[in-house]
Structure 1
Amino acid sequence: MLLQLTAALLYYTSLVSGQQRCSYVTVPVCGDDVNNVTPGSLISGRSEKGVAGPPGKMGPSGFTGQKGDIGAVCLKGDIGPPGEVGLRGFPGLKGEKGAVGQKGEALDLEDFKREIRERFLEIENLLPAVNCSTSSVSGYQRLRNYKKAVCDNGWTVFQRRFDGSVDFQRTWQEYKDGFGKMEGEFWLGLDKIFELTSGQNCKLKIKMTGFDDTTPYAQYKKHKGKGKVCPGRPKINRKTPTKNVFRFRSSFAIDDESENYRLHVSGFSGTAGDSLDGHSNGSPFTTKDRDNDR
């Protein structure tokens, strides 16, 4: 019987290996009935599908693949042309009218003028002084016209000597241009003194300090009455129109170089002696290389 079953299985195997689609059923064989089993009786109709078995266990995870190469970086494209200007929007609705403000108080003209003056004075104090007469600072400083000057309580200092560090035995040209340093001993210069006094109402003050620390001074200021004839504002002489007569308006002034810087001074007062009004008034300037006293 076992030999017959083996033969049937071999026969089925040969059918499968022969690339033939076959199906078979198992025929129960009991006792001597195995002799009646033939290959044809084993391979008969299609059998019924069995019940699906339970799913198998999940297999282990596969190995992680290698990281791929980085792709090439693409070039940035060109900027596209600007779009067309859109249509103008509709105008907005007109807003509501605001509330009427309260009526202001009437402006006092005098108060307004006083406030304007105060504002101008505040601005004036922030700017450099126009000259020493408007300056509240004493010492070396730069004026509003970018010129340098030494001021002393409103006075313009044009000569200062105190320690003998500067030689004042100078030539005509040096006295014309000026010499020394304004931080120490100096002479401002005849041209600059003429510019300061010409046509101006100027006063002259000479301050001295003695060895006993006394401080005598001499001051020349304008007297009441008519002035003297010297440089000032020109006035045409009606009788002789070809000549210009200059009316003196100051107690201290000098002529220009064409008149050898002639001195004009009057109105002495002070605690020192008067060495200018009686002797040097009207005299030209003199230096070691240009004697104008003869």
Structure 2
Amino acid sequence: MKTLTCFVLLVTYRVTMTYSQQCRQVTSTVCDDDVTNVSRQKGDKGEIGSPGKSGSQGIKGSKGDSGGVGEKGAQGESCALGSFGNDIINRLAYLEDFFRPDSCTNALLDGNQFLRNGLKVYCEDRWTIFQRRFDGSVNFQRTWDEYKLGFGNSEGEFWLGLEAVHRLTRRGKCDLRVELQNFDDNHYWAKYSTFSVDSEADLYRLYVGGYTGNATDRLEYHNNQPFTTMDRDNDAFGRNCASEHDGEAGGWWYKSCYYSQLNGFWGENGRSIYWTSGPRPKVTAMKFRCD
């Protein structure tokens, strides 16, 4: 009953009055505690209390994700040489080309040399070595293009390349020297006072003559013969001489087929490197020198 009476009084006073101090006194006097809170309003702000004790340390947070890769910085300025510096470089390049030998004949040092025409050759006592074999580490059963451009390592077994030999022997008088050593360490040599190799248009035809030496002349048979490889048959035989002997013959200036063949299979027995005077060669070197 008290609750209902309080509610009626509250409604009456809300209609006729604002929430004044008088209304708050009436409601607090008439109403029980269970309805007093309905009409109670917020009091004035109290004084600031004294600081409380520090709380315990919180749990450490998990590690955040790593940052992304930053943007690439701008490129620094290049160090310009200027016209004077460029002029010095050009003059040094000119001097380098000027002092390069035009052939091994004019080379002052042995070993690999870059000639004035841009070719890289191996010089030895002013001879240009264009074929060397001694351990069978390089396969000489190659295609036409490989024999044309060269293969192997000039410090080891190698073939300089027919195009390079042609370019270096087409002008002036050239000598050819063939050096052989068999598996018994006996040495033979053959020297020719005439040597040149024609252009690819003429199938790198061999021209050789004027023999001296102790190895017997076995290149005379091959004089004026074009070069033949396993993929380019230019010999006078009914079959491809470079593909004979189970493909171990290698490229050479074949006729029908050969009296000498220094690009065959390397080995002491069987169909291997061949020069028909004495045992099979173990070490071979072919070199030329031009006036």
TM-score, structure 2 length as denominator?
0.45
Does 1 or 2 have the higher relative contact order (CA < 8 Å, sep 6+)?
Answer: 2
More helix by share: 2
More strand by share: 2
TM-score, structure 1 length as denominator?
0.45
- Max radius of gyration: which structure? 1
